[in-house]
Amino acid sequence: MGMALMAFAAPALAQTNAVSVVETKALALQPKLETWRRHIHQNPELGNREVKTAAYVAAHLRQLGLEVREKVGVTGVIGILRGGMPGPVVALRADMDGLPVKERANLPFKSVQTADYLGETVPVMHACGHDTHVSILMGTAELLAGMKQQVPGTVVFIFQPAEEGPPGDEEGGAPLMIKEGALDNPRVEAIFGLHINSQTPIGTIKYKSGSAMASSDWFSIKVKGKQTHGSQPWGGVDPIMVSAAIINGLQTIVSRESELTKAPVVISVGKIQSGVRNNIIPEEATMLGTIRTLDAAMQKQVHERIKAMATTIAKAYGAEAEVDIDTKTLVTHNDYALTKAMAPSLIKAAGENFVIESEWTTGAEDFSYFSDKVPGLYFFLGGMPKGKTAKESAPHHTPDFYIDDSMLFTGVKAFTHLVFDYAQYTATKK
């Protein structure tokens, strides 16, 4: 038997054996998945502060006999499973952090936790579903560890902190985990990740080839005018009025300058701060906002135009504008060849009628930093209860956010099939 044929045969054999047991094993894990998820939901922690969550994960991985590395990227945890058959190194990723949101849903495992965030005491909630991601990856680790001898190659389980962004000026999230070796030793060849979605029917999987999620840039524009009495605006330069003109101008970058048939662009101002009282035109005004793009060239163009437009408009009114843009995430790009090859794995997990090739979204994910380094596939798993519609379901990052966790086993199946099928895919390319 030739070397190429031998390389194909081992993963193919593992694949045949695995498919016959994954369904049963994943379904049997469902009670544990709910227990883990609800414990984590009731005890959320903010980015770079996931100390208890990380300890909970690490203890589970050690119990399974995995190699465990802790404090990677502040509180990140990495588990390594070396399978009993030859194959590639594949990474699976879940994010762990909650958000400063007060939960309104009346659940028996409702969060009542608070934490310090930039000097303020804030409520904390898993308002984006990261608790389900952790549970699904813990379950995948348990399933694969239980059939270790059939597993082709090595599986790296990445439990990542601070996906929503680290506090203040701290480093964190995927960039810091990568910097500290999350994709090295062993060297990861491909990475897979998922995100629960509260407005997608439970058990349904959505994915998209190429650009799938937007880059996220945060910007600040400081307008410097000249203070004067509110009754004598001609005696100064009104930074609030100038800011209003800039805000209107920014929207023309979207509506008149961006090639929206190529990819969407969103520019939103989320905060404007200025002044101290009614009858004083202040010296300065500051705007904070976000930029979402799904094309790297368009992202660069938008940055240039925001800077030019803000400074030019300010100058026209006798003011000055300082613009700062900070990139938080890249465009989340699903490798075309990998996505095409792995789509059947998603169908195995959810069923052909429950897998949808979807449109892109202007939401952002720092999984993009992982898939910028190695080929990646990021997909969505539905958590909206049966009988509900998307309009009836609260969106992510809101107090009423809710996930039906009764089909988390679908995520475990998807991850498990991706591990086995990727090994077969790489073997056929040799």
- Give per-residue pLDDT as tens, 354-388: 999 999 999 999 999 999 999 999 999 999 999 99
Q: Is residue 337 part of a domain?
A: no
Q: What Cα–Cα distance (Å) separates residue 402 from each residue in 180, 213, 392?
A: 34, 22, 11
Q: What is the pLDDT of residue 1?
A: 37
**Whether pLDDT at 146 is above 50:** yes
**Whether pLDDT at 194 is above 90:** yes
Instruction: Based on the fold, state whether residues 129 and 51 are members of the same structural domain.
Output: yes
Catalytic residues: 97, 163
**Whether pLDDT at 285 is above 80:** yes
Phi, psi of 342 (to 5 degrees): -95, -10
Instruction: Based on the fold, state whether residues 199 and 283 are members of the same structural domain.
Output: no
- Closest of 252, 243, 140, 132 to residue 197, by C-alpha: 132
Q: Return the H-helix or E-strand segment holding 155.
A: strand 152-160
Phi, psi of 408 (to 5 degrees): -65, -25
Instruction: Based on the fold, state whether residues 44 and 70 are members of the same structural domain.
Output: yes
Instruction: Based on the fold, state whether residues 278 and 322 are members of the same structural domain.
Output: yes
- Residues of the domain holding 59: 3-208+358-429
Instruction: Based on the fold, state whether residues 268 and 192 are members of the same structural domain.
Output: no
Q: Is residue 421 part of a domain?
A: yes
Instruction: Based on the fold, state whether residues 91 and 144 are members of the same structural domain.
Output: yes
pLDDT tens across 53-95, in order?
Answer: 999 999 999 999 999 999 999 999 999 999 999 999 999 999 9
**Whether pLDDT at 8 is above 60:** no
Q: Is residue 277 part of a domain?
A: yes
Q: Is residue 351 part of a domain?
A: no
Instruction: Based on the fold, state whether residues 45 and 193 are members of the same structural domain.
Output: yes
Q: Is residue 339 part of a domain?
A: no
Q: What is the pLDDT of residue 18?
A: 60
Positive or negative, the CA dihedral 301, 374, 348, 430 is positive
Q: Is 402 or 428 the better-scoring residue by pLDDT?
A: 402
> E strands of 167-256, at which residues?
190-201, 205-207, 210-224, 228-229
Q: Is residue 346 part of a domain?
A: no
Instruction: Based on the fold, state whether residues 197 and 235 are members of the same structural domain.
Output: no
Two tokens, residue 365: 């994910």
Average pLDDT taken over every residue of the chain: 95
- Give the pairing type, strands 152-160 and 85-95: parallel
Q: What is the pLDDT of residue 260?
A: 95
Mean pLDDT of 140-162: 97
Q: Is residue 343 part of a domain?
A: no
Instruction: Based on the fold, state whether residues 425 and 300 are members of the same structural domain.
Output: no
**Whether pLDDT at 12 is above 70:** no
Two tokens, residue 415: 């991850």
Phi, psi of 214 (to 5 degrees): -75, 160
Number of structural domains the chain divides into = 2
Spacing of C-alpha 354 from chain mean position: 22
Q: What Cα–Cα distance (Å) separates residue 129 from each residue in 41, 77, 112, 133?
A: 9, 18, 16, 7
Instruction: Based on the fold, state whether residues 371 and 412 are members of the same structural domain.
Output: yes
CATH number at residue 274: 3.30.70.360
Mean pLDDT of 248-272: 97
Instruction: Based on the fold, state whether residues 289 and 256 are members of the same structural domain.
Output: yes
pLDDT tens across 310-326, in order?
Answer: 999 999 999 999 999 99
Mean pLDDT of 150-165: 97
Instruction: Based on the fold, state whether residues 71 and 191 are members of the same structural domain.
Output: yes
**Whether pLDDT at 13 is above 80:** no
Q: What is the pLDDT of residue 19?
A: 67
**Whether pLDDT at 25 is above 60:** yes
**Whether pLDDT at 4 is above 90:** no
Q: What Cα–Cα distance (Å) separates residue 279 from each residue in 224, 230, 235, 276?
A: 18, 4, 13, 9
Q: Is residue 334 part of a domain?
A: no
- Name the residue type at position 249: G
Mean pLDDT of 143-162: 97
How would residue 21 be classed by pLDDT, with cut points 50, 70 and 90?
confident
Q: What Cα–Cα distance (Å) separates residue 91 from each residue in 31, 192, 428?
A: 25, 6, 20
**Whether pLDDT at 167 is above 80:** yes
